[in-house]
Every structure is written in C-alpha cells, then in structure tokens.
C-alpha cells in the first residue's frame, strides 16, 4: 500500500520546527545574514528541542525520530534560513549518523551520546583546497606512529569548522592506493596541531559558520579511528548519502519559502488595475514552483521510507538531491522575477533565498555529478554493493528479512 499521509508524530515535528523557526530565526535572520553573524546559542535551543539528535536511537541519547520526521524538520528549518538546516546536515547527517553506522559501541557512547544531546557540536572534514568531487584523491595524510597516527593536511569549506567540538576527518594512509588508502578519524578540539579558521566573503548562508581545518602533525590515538584502515572512502560516501538527504529536504523548504513569498507578493502587488497574480506568465512561474516542490517532497519521502527500513538509498537520495536543489535555485530566480525590482533588495527575503540556494547545487555532489550518477544507474554501469556496516533502521522499524543484513553491525 502507498500511503502519503503524515502520522501524528510527523505533524508534531513539523509544527514544532515551524514554531521554533518563527520564534527564534525569522525575527532576526535579515540582520544576522546582513552582518554575517553566527549565533551558537540558537543551536543550543535546537538541542533543547531534540533537533540535534533527531533521528538517532534513544539508546544513544537521540530523539528516535523516523526519517520522514527528520526530513520535515530539515524542510522547516531551511524554510526559515539555510544556515540552520546546515547544522542538521553536518552535525547529524554527516557526522552523527556516520558514527552510528560505522563506530563501535564504545565510540558511540564516547562521542555520539553527547552529540545527540547537543552537548557537543560536530562537523565533517572531507573537502580540501585541491579536492572536491574527486574525493579519492585526498592530499591529507595519516602516518602510523606506534599506537597512534600523525595527521597532516588541510580541509576547506567545512561547515561549523570554527564552532565544532568534534571533527570526523579523512586522510590517506597510502596515497598510491587512492580510495582504498583513505581512513576516517574522530578528532576533538584542543588536540595539539589542530586549528580552525573562518572563511569570509561568502555569497550566501552568511548566518552560518564555514571555515578551514588545519592538521599540523596531529597525534590521533588508534581508538579514534572510525572503521578499518582503508575503509574511510566507504564511510565518507555513506555519510554523504545521509547529508544529501538533509540537503534535499532542506531545498524543498527553500523552494517552499520562495513560493510563499511570491504568493503573498502576487496578491499584494497590483499592475494594470489588478493583482499581478492574475497575469498568466506570473501564474506560470508560481505553478512551476508548486509542481517542483511537490515532486521534490515525494522524492525525499521515498528515500526516507527506505532509510526507515535501513535499506540502501544512494540512487533515490541522489535523485532527490539533484531535483530539489536545482528546483530551489530556479524557484529563487523566479521569485525575484515575480517581485521585480523589489526582489533585488534585501528588503524582501527572496534576495537571500537566491544567494543561499546556490551552494546546494555544488556541495554534497554537484548537479553535474548527480546527472552522471543517475545515468550510470539507468545504464546499469553502477550497482550498490553490500557494506560491512549497513545503515541502521529508524527506531521502531526493522530491515526486511530479504535485505543483505538483518541487523545493525559495527
């Protein structure tokens, strides 16, 4: 049976997230964006509401939300501003869910529990100055030193870099092995040789922190390694599946914000003696926004259904991310067009929506990369293989018996 009805829990999460955004973000976001201010205290209030551990199991301090609720949370946060959805993407999607899937129970209790409770803020360091989409070519190195590793290199375009407490970073133990040499490590702020800095001059997401991580001969104990040596590329790609899901859900929210603003303006603004919403070509832009939002939301929910069961969803999440982020950019462009000259001013929010929308067609895989991914699946060139540590089902769900793995491992 196909059922698109939201549960009472889904609706409660949606309403709580919307109320939070309306009270804590929307009254201030124009000023924060204009000044480039990051307000970590807002992240603290997100933690109090359970947002920072939303889909994590209750046994590790999380909220036990299903992935449809998690998508709705991301959608509502980005409907207010992208910076606050980014926290969900990086802290929860890229770091905490990767730790849940690939960490040992001891590692989960050491790092995941305080992250789920919001006591510690976490980030993810893969991108480097010379390495983005080609993640197998990392220049950062990890050299064995007895019972530790020595990490050297730099990560860039790292969300929360200057405010995070925990860092899931990737470095190569053997660059000649390319992807098979990459290994994952959990670092903590305060480790000798680890430093961070903030990037300035961004086009958008100005109310969020983005920066660099410098690794200068950082000594990392072996017990901080996540997964096996050489398994880091698989860990990174599975983490990015989680991140792409949050980005896709958030992009639906951004497109929805564009439509909301455009509908209000279409009723308020009059030309030639009538509301501009009466003009056919304005209607066309609004209709395209609405149609694309519905398509994106359904693609996200399909991926969310698979995630609830603990099933691989790389193909479905890629498609949702590709469509939703491209559509958010087009919706923002059309929203400015509907607003005319007013859309070119930060007196109206659509100017911020356009600036914020552009990043998501670059990070978590460019639109061009997702085009190739979808073509390779369609052509049969790409096939997902079982992982040593499969994704966890959402609390209250279980992986079907026919799945390659019947229970979480790691």
Q: Measured between alpha carbons, how far is 339 from 60 in angstroms, rounded to an integer?
A: 47
Looking at every residue in the chain, the average pLDDT score rounds to 96
Of the candidates 24, 75, 316, 364, the residue annotated as catalytic is: 364
- Per-residue pLDDT tens over the stretch 220-253: 999 999 999 999 999 999 999 999 999 999 999 9
User: Residue 174's closest CA among 217, 148, 136?
Assistant: 136
- Residues present in the chain in total: 410
Share of the chain above pLDDT 70, in %: 98
Query: What is this structure's pTM?
Result: 0.96
Task: Give me the pLDDT at residue 16, please.
Answer: 98
Task: Give me the pLDDT at residue 402, please.
Answer: 65
Q: List C-alpha distances in Å: 103 to 57, 65, 100, 133, 176.
A: 14, 20, 6, 25, 26
Q: At what angle do helices 314-339 and 367-379 cross, to 10 degrees?
A: 140
1 pLDDT exceeds 70?
no
Q: Measured between alpha carbons, how far is 158 from 198 in angstroms, rounded to an integer?
A: 9
Q: At what angle do helices 232-268 and 67-80 cross, to 10 degrees?
A: 50
Confidence label for 132 from pLDDT (cuts 50, 70 and 90): confident
- 21 near 76, Cβ under 8 Å? yes
Interstrand relation of 182-188 and 122-125 (parallel, antiparallel or unpaired): unpaired
Task: Give me the pLDDT at residue 406, please.
Answer: 38
- Per-residue pLDDT tens over the stretch 301-320: 999 999 999 999 999 999 99
CA angle, 156 then 159 then 165, to 5°: 100
Mean pLDDT for the stretch of residues 328-333: 98
Confidence label for 73 from pLDDT (cuts 50, 70 and 90): very high
Burial class (CB in 10 A: 0-12, 13-18, 19+), 271: exposed
Task: Give me the pLDDT at residue 404, please.
Answer: 54
Mean pLDDT for the stretch of residues 71-85: 98
Confidence label for 100 from pLDDT (cuts 50, 70 and 90): very high
Burial class (CB in 10 A: 0-12, 13-18, 19+), 272: exposed
Mean pLDDT for the stretch of residues 98-126: 98
Question: Which residue reads 């109310």 in tokens?
Answer: 207
Q: HSE on the CB side for 174, CA within 13 Å?
A: 7
Q: Is 76 among the catalytic positions?
A: no
User: Residue 328's closest CA among 362, 282, 296?
Assistant: 296
- The number of angstroms, rounded, from the C-alpha of 197 to the middle of its chain's C-alpha atoms is 21
Q: Measured between alpha carbons, how far is 76 from 136 in angstroms, rounded to an integer?
A: 34
Task: Give me the pLDDT at residue 403, please.
Answer: 64
- Per-residue pLDDT tens over the stretch 146-187: 999 999 999 999 999 999 999 999 999 999 999 999 999 999
Confidence label for 401 from pLDDT (cuts 50, 70 and 90): confident
370 pLDDT exceeds 70?
yes
Q: Measured between alpha carbons, how far is 394 from 396 in angstroms, rounded to an integer?
A: 6
Task: Give me the pLDDT at residue 408, please.
Answer: 42
Helix (H) or strand (E) holding 154: strand 148-159
332 pLDDT exceeds 70?
yes
Task: Give me the pLDDT at residue 159, please.
Answer: 98
Confidence label for 409 from pLDDT (cuts 50, 70 and 90): very low
């Amino acid at each position: 049976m196909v059922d698109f009805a939201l549960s009472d829990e889904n609706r409660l999460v949606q309403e709580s997230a919307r109320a939070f955004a309306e009270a804590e973000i929307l009254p201030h976001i124009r000023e924060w964006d204009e000044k480039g201010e990051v307000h970590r205290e807002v992240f603290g209030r997100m933690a109090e509401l359970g947002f920072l551990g939303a889909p994590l199991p209750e046994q590790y301090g999380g909220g036990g939300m299903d992935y449809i609720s998690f998508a709705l949370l991301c959608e509502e946060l980005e409907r207010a501003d992208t910076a606050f959805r980014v926290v969900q993407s990086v802290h929860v999607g890229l770091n905490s869910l990767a730790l849940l899937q690939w960490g040992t129970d001891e590692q989960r209790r050491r790092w995941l529990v305080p992250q789920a409770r919001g006591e510690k803020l976490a980030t993810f360091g893969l991108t480097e100055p010379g390495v983005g989409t080609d993640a197998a070519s990392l220049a950062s190195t990890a050299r064995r030193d007895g019972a530790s590793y020595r990490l050297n290199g730099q990560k860039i375009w790292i969300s929360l870099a200057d405010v995070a407490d925990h860092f899931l970073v990737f470095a190569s133990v053997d660059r000649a092995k390319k992807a098979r040499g990459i290994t994952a490590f959990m670092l903590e702020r305060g480790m000798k040789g680890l430093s961070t800095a903030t990037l300035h001059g961004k086009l958008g997401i100005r109310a969020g922190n983005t920066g660099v991580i410098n690794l200068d001969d950082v000594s990392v104990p072996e017990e901080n390694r996540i997964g096996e040596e050489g398994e880091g590329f698989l860990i990174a790609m599975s983490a990015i599946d989680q991140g792409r899901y949050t980005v896709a859900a958030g992009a639906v929210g951004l497109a929805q914000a564009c439509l909301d603003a455009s509908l209000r303006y279409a009723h308020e603004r009059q030309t030639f003696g009538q509301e501009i919403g009466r003009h056919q070509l304005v209607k066309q832009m609004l209709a395209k926004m609405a149609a694309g939002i519905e398509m994106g939301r359904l693609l996200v929910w399909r991926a969310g259904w698979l995630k609830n069961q603990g099933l691989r969803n790389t193909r479905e999440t890629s498609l949702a991310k590709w469509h939703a982020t491209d559509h958010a950019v087009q919706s923002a462009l059309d929203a400015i067009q509907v607003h005319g000259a007013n859309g070119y001013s930060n007196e109206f929010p659509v100017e911020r929506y356009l600036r914020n929308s552009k990043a998501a067609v670059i990070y978590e895989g460019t639109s061009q990369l997702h085009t190739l991914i979808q073509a390779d699946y369609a052509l049969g060139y790409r096939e997902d293989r079982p992982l040593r540590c499969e994704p966890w089902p959402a609390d209250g769900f279980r992986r079907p018996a026919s799945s390659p793995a019947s229970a979480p491992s790691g």
